[in-house]
Amino acid sequence: MFTHIADGYDWFDHLASLGQDYLWRPRALWDLDRYRAGRPVHRLLDIGCGPGDLTELAAHHFPHAEAVGADFTAAMLRHAHRRSRRDRAAARLRYARADAGRLPFADGSFDLVLSAFVIRNLPDLEGALAEMRRVLRPGGTVFTLEITEPEHEGIGRLFHAYFDHVVPWLGAAARSAGPYRYLPESVRFLPDRAGILRKMRAAGLDRAEAHPQFLGVVTTYLGTAAPAKLMVPPPVGPER
């Protein structure tokens, strides 16, 4: 499915979001800045990077960091590679094919793990969150931006009228009816904000927070990699 939509993925996202995705990612990075309170980022990983929008944006946002984009779909990575050659941060951009549930990176490899509009596509969200935690250094941050159910009922009705009907129609007009019928269905199967936060904490991510934006249509989730717990041996009593 993602191979099929790879060629038009960028422009269709901009069209379907009415251009709002140009604002959502930078706004989420501002939430991240406030959350991290100036902690340095030397190496970051963008999971499900697609054609590299967030990878490049994060590389510009953290100008001294190496940025690694990972995606399961080879066609998406080909677009990311082509784009990266023209980017001013090209020397700091890397791309790799990877499964979010089995990341090919060593424990504690990154200061920051990001994703945008990815977690609703993961068949094992708990396993993927555990992998994100594994590749983070202690004190590192998980950041994920996702489409969510609006907080206000009236806004929710407008959102679903557009998202459930107009977006699939646009997809059909672009000869991608199936993938864009899947889009609203994938959001319905995603846990609510409280459920996502519970799963983050269960994966070993402390300070789990949800930051809705654009009337709750999208939400930024943030969590901190908890330090590994040390096993303290019981005191040894006197020999008898």
Predicted confidence (pLDDT) at residue 236 exceeds the cutoff of 70: no
At 131-155, the pLDDT tens digits run: 999 999 999 999 999 999 998 888 8
What's the pLDDT score for residue 201? 97
Query: Alpha-carbon distance 44 to 62, whole Å?
Result: 9
By DSSP bridging, strand 93-97 and strand 66-71 are: parallel
At 218-232, the pLDDT tens digits run: 999 999 998 765 444
- Return all residues near 45 (Cβ < 8 A) that are at least 6 apart: 68, 69, 70, 103, 105, 109, 110, 112, 113, 114, 135
What are the CA-CA distances from residue 135 to residues 43, 78, 107, 131, 224 (Å)? 11, 24, 4, 6, 12
Report the predicted TM-score, pTM, of the whole model to 2 decimal places: 0.87
Domains of the chain and any CATH numbers: 21-149+192-225 (3.40.50.150)
What's the pLDDT score for residue 230? 46
Split at pLDDT 50, 70, 90, the class of 212 is very high
Query: Alpha-carbon distance 191 to 157, whole Å?
Result: 19
At 52-83, the pLDDT tens digits run: 999 999 999 999 999 999 999 999 899 899 98
At 153-185, the pLDDT tens digits run: 888 888 878 878 777 776 666 555 555 566 777
- The answer to whether 170 touches 180, Cβ cutoff 8 Å, is yes
| Secondary structure of the chain as H, E, C letters | CHHHHCCCHHHHHHHHCCCCHHHHHHHHHHHHHHHHCCCCCCEEEEECCCCCHHHHHHHHHCCCCEEEEEECCHHHHHHHHHHHHCCCCHHHEEEEECECCECCCCCCCEEEEEEECCHHHCCCHHHHHHHHHHHEEEEEEEEEEEECCCCCHHHHHHHHHHHHHHHHHHHHHCCCHHHHHHHHHHHHCCCCHHHHHHHHHHCCEEEEEEEEEHHHCEEEEEEEECCCCCCCCCCCCCCC
At 14-23, the pLDDT tens digits run: 777 778 888 9
